[in-house]
Amino acid sequence: MRNFTYSIPTTIYFGKDKLEEIIPEVKRYGKRVLITYGGGSIKRIGLYDKLTALFKQNDIFYVELGGIQPNPRVSSVREGIALCREHKVDFILAVGGGSVIDASKAIAAGVTYDGDVWDFMIGKATVKDPLPLGSVLTLAATGSEMNGSAVISNEETQDKRPMGDPALRPVFSVLDPVYTYSVNKWHTAAGTTDIMSHIFEAYYTVDKDVEVADYMAEALLKVCIKYGPIAVEEPENYEARANLMWAGTLAINGLISYGKAGGDWATHMIEHEVSAIYDLTHGAGLAILFPVWMEYVLDERNSWRFAQMARNVWGVSEIDDMKAARLGIAEIRKFFSSLGMPATLKDVNIDGQHIPVMAKKATIFGALGNIKKLQQADVEEILRRAL
By the criterion CB under 8 A, which residues form the site for a second copy? 1-18, 21, 177, 208-212, 215-216, 218-220, 222-223, 226-227, 238-239, 242-243, 246-247, 250, 255, 258-259
**CB 262, min distance to a second copy, A:** 15
Across the strands, what pairs with 172?
11, 134
Smaller CB separation from a second copy, 13 or 293: 13
**CB 21, min distance to a second copy, A:** 8
Cα–Cα distances in Å, from 286 out to 35, 242, 275, 291? 30, 23, 10, 9
Give the separation between CA 264 and CA 261, rounded to whole angstroms: 8
- Whole-angstrom distance between the N-terminal and C-terminal Cα of the chain? 38
**CB 146, min distance to a second copy, A:** 9
Smaller CB separation from a second copy, 237 or 302: 237
**CB 273, min distance to a second copy, A:** 32
**CB 240, min distance to a second copy, A:** 8
Give the separation between CA 263 and CA 270, rounded to whole angstroms: 15
Give the separation between CA 65 and CA 100, rounded to whole angstroms: 10
Smaller CB separation from a second copy, 4 or 61: 4
- Reduced to 3 states (helix: H, G, I; strand: E, B; else coil), residue 218 is helix
**CB 16, min distance to a second copy, A:** 6
Smaller CB separation from a second copy, 83 or 133: 133
- Reduced to 3 states (helix: H, G, I; strand: E, B; else coil), residue 161 is strand
Smaller CB separation from a second copy, 215 or 365: 215
Give the separation between CA 230 and CA 278, rounded to whole angstroms: 29
Smaller CB separation from a second copy, 27 or 222: 222
96: number of Cβ within 10 Å: 28
Chain CA centroid to CA 62, Å: 27
